[in-house]
Chain A
């Protein structure tokens, strides 16, 4: 086949497949099958995954990580986030864990705050000031979270959890997962305790099922297309509780870390894909 003809054919095929994709998206939105819509959303996610804006947060986070900061003018490179001072690769896979220097179980976000205070000399209030970013004011924490978690991409979740305080955190987190309250009687378990549940067209992972818990946990943090921000796991819990009609979950609170411990340990063996991209 002459070259020009092949090119013309290729263009036609591309055009046809694009039309097909658009048509599929339109028809599923109008049709009555939720499954078809979910498949299209999954395709959309995969397409977006090729160019995830979370990379911008990862790059910014790396700069912040390496830069001397705070009253003591020290970088995060001496910060122990789980595998020893300065060790970033693989650290997210073992969190949350017990840290002897604070005598607490900590997650990544809490540990970043700890290093800002203990290592860099920031005031606690200042370190806690901007946990979640907005288009007007970006969060350093979210950038650091993106950088650190990206360094564990492809690794398996491996929360040990044998320390008595880690066991206690797991048990408290489990009780929180099943705690129903508020005006709607909701608990985490209301939406995440059974297979194949949906709110409107949004799929809900069953977090009491091993495979689904792994898939869900390992995809956070994530770049949220609808918000234009990378969101940390602390944000994920904060916003779940808002929708649960609960009061505000405090950033890096003991309860938030306990629930994260429960969910992270249940995801052991799952391969980290974060920061991922979500609607």
Chain B
């Protein structure tokens, strides 16, 4: 897979790039964004403004791979700055509730009821427990996550942070920023953190 390269530019767009000095890639992307916005419509909770990109999304779209190191560092820095840890200092919730969140793929689709809490759908991409054999592989296996790493304060903080905003640790990760983007609540993220770290959790059996 190569970086996005564009070969043809319309005259109007070309003129725009001269006047602003913007690189051809992002100019063409702007044109694509105009077409995209005209091609989608609001439906349920999914409004067309979801196509607007923040800096992280824009940079990750622009550099799907072979990303320059300084770009990756910038993305991680932006997101690390936006990290919010629980005010009460407690990072571990109830692993049993965490397991339910890991199983549920509900949430944020236009076909979903926005009044219902969203799931994390962790099993879509990760192995977590021995019992659940229907798991995806877009992310690494998390079986024995806590057993291998221990349940120290530093690991708790890293784990909560990784679920809250994966981009702070790994630029352009495929993993959604569950806390930062408001998919899961703080309490839900604590429960998923417990699923990964609680010694009683099936993840660590």
Residues of A within 8 A of B (CB): 30-32, 34, 164, 167-168, 171-172, 174-176, 178-187, 189-191, 193-194, 196-202, 208, 241-243, 245-250, 253-256, 258
Contact = CB atoms under 8 A, between A and B. Distances in A.
Contact of A245 (B48, B109, B167): B109
20 contacts: A168-B8, A171-B7, A175-B6, A175-B28, A176-B32, A179-B29, A180-B57, A182-B51, A183-B108, A186-B176, A187-B61, A201-B134, A202-B136, A208-B1, A243-B109, A245-B109, A246-B40, A246-B50, A247-B48, A249-B39
A247 B53 contact: no
Given A197-B138, A198-B136, A248-B43, A185 B28 contact: no
A175 B4 contact: yes
A175 B29 contact: yes
Given A183-B108, A183-B183, 9 more contacts: A172-B31, A178-B4, A184-B108, A199-B125, A246-B40, A246-B46, A247-B51, A248-B46, A255-B40
B152 interface: no
Given A247-B51, A255-B35, A180 B40 contact: no
The B contact surface, by secondary structure, is loop
Contacts of A201: 134, 136
Interface of B: 1, 4, 6-8, 10, 28-29, 31-33, 35-36, 38-43, 46-48, 50-53, 56-57, 60-61, 64, 108-111, 123-125, 130, 133-138, 167, 174, 176-177, 181-183
Contacts of B47: 247
Contact of B6 (A171, A191, A249): A171
A247 B8 contact: no
B38 A255 contact: yes
A200 B35 contact: no
Nearest to B123: A200
B52 A181 contact: yes
B51 A245 contact: no
A248 B41 contact: yes
Given A171-B28, A189-B64, A200-B135, A247 B52 contact: no
Contacts of A176: 32, 36
A255 to B, nearest CB: 3
